[in-house]
């Protein structure tokens, strides 16, 4: 029997202490995020520098630019401030309804050399064509949910749609990830679809509360489930 491709684990953390927990428990990508500020809440610059320092290049680190006006100059400045903290990937939500599409799509052209990840929300924002993102220089595409009390990703989509989303992103050469209130029971069905990353926050925290501290035992449980899914 052929093994499924290994799906990597993204763990969202809000501090250097949590980053160390996540790293030690087997997370593949340390994602800096402040959960009290929403789906893409940014941690403070000092906290981000501390996270990067404690990970010390042993894993890649990603971070969101936060709630930034969807205007090219503001986004460009936010991206550069985040990059200056030493992260490997920078996550940006560009495609709010009514936002001017082309200047946002072309953001990588104004930030050469940076690995930008476009984030879209299954419960709110239509996904842009993966081919257009790739042509504009985006490095990856992440599907998340904005409303964390309205169910998880699989409540807003189905496996057939998600498989198409992943297939199109891969065909365009983009890194592709899935997140959105994922639980341990989501790991196997989503891993079968072959994303590069599955992203977690609440499932890794005490009492499954995304605003609580990371629990290393919960991180290890998700890590073990991902490893079993590849067998």
| Cα–Cα distance, 156 to 124 (Å, whole number) | 10
Inside any domain, residue 36: yes
Inside any domain, residue 231: no
Evaluate if residue 125 carries a pLDDT over 70: no
Inside any domain, residue 3: no
pLDDT tens-place string over residues 33-75? 999 887 789 999 999 999 999 999 999 999 999 988 777 788 8
Dihedral sign (CA 178, 150, 62, 20): negative
Q: How many domains does the chain have?
A: 1
| Cα–Cα distance, 222 to 14 (Å, whole number) | 18
- The answer for residues whose C-beta is within 8 angstroms of residue 78's C-beta and 6 or more apart is 65, 66, 68, 92
- Structural domain of 201: 8-224
pLDDT tens-place string over residues 10-32? 999 999 999 999 999 999 999 99
3-state per-residue secondary structure call for the chain: CCCCCCCEEEEEECCHHHHHHHHHCCCCEEEECCHHHCCCCCCCHHHHHHHHHHHCCCCCEEEECCCCCCCHHHHHHHHHHHHCCCCCEEEEECCCCCCCHHHHHCHHHHCCCCCEEEEEECCCCCCCCHHHHHHCCCCEEEEECCCCCCCCHHHHCCHHHHHHHHHHHHHCCCEEEECCCCCHHHHHHHHCCCCCEEEECHHHEHHHCCCCCECHHHHHHHHHHHHHHCC
Inside any domain, residue 230: no
Predicted pLDDT at 96: 59
Q: Is 148 a catalytic site residue?
A: no
> What pTM does this model have?
0.92
pLDDT tens-place string over residues 91-107? 998 765 555 555 578 88
CB atoms within 10 A of CB 154: 20
Average pLDDT in the chain: 89
Inside any domain, residue 66: yes
Q: Given 14, 33, 210, 223, which residue is catalytic?
A: 33
Evaluate if residue 162 carries a pLDDT over 90: yes
Q: What is the mean pLDDT of residues 172-198?
A: 95
Inside any domain, residue 154: yes
Inside any domain, residue 129: yes
Q: Given 9, 66, 89, 91, which residue is catalytic?
A: 91
The CATH number of residue 198's host domain is 3.20.20.70
Token pair for 144: 């998340």
Token pair for 189: 């069905």
Inside any domain, residue 2: no
């Amino acid at each position: 029997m052929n093994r499924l491709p290994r799906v990597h684990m993204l763990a969202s953390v809000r501090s250097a202490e949590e980053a160390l927990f996540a790293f030690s428990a087997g997370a593949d990508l340390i994602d800096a995020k402040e959960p009290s500020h929403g789906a893409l809440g940014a941690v403070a610059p000092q906290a981000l520098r501390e996270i990067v320092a404690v990970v010390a290049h042993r894993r890649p680190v990603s971070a969101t630019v936060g709630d930034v006006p969807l205007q090219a100059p503001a986004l460009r400045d936010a991206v550069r401030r985040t990059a200056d903290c030493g992260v490997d990937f920078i996550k940006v939500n560009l495609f709010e309804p009514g936002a001017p599409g082309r200047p946002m799509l072309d953001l990588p052209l104004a930030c050469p050399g940076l690995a930008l990840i476009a984030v879209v929300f299954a419960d709110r924002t239509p996904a842009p064509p993966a081919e257009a993102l790739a042509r504009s220089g985006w490095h990856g595409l992440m599907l998340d949910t904005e409303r964390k009390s309205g169910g998880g990703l699989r409540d807003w989509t189905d496996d057939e749609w998600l498989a198409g989303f992943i297939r199109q992103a891969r065909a365009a050469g983009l890194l592709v990830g899935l997140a959105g209130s994922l639980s341990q029971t989501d790991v196997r069905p989503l891993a079968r679809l072959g994303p590069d990353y599955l992203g977690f926050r609440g499932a890794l925290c005490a009492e499954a509360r995304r605003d609580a501290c990371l629990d290393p035992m919960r991180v290890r449980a998700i890590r073990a489930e991902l490893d079993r899914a590849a067998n």
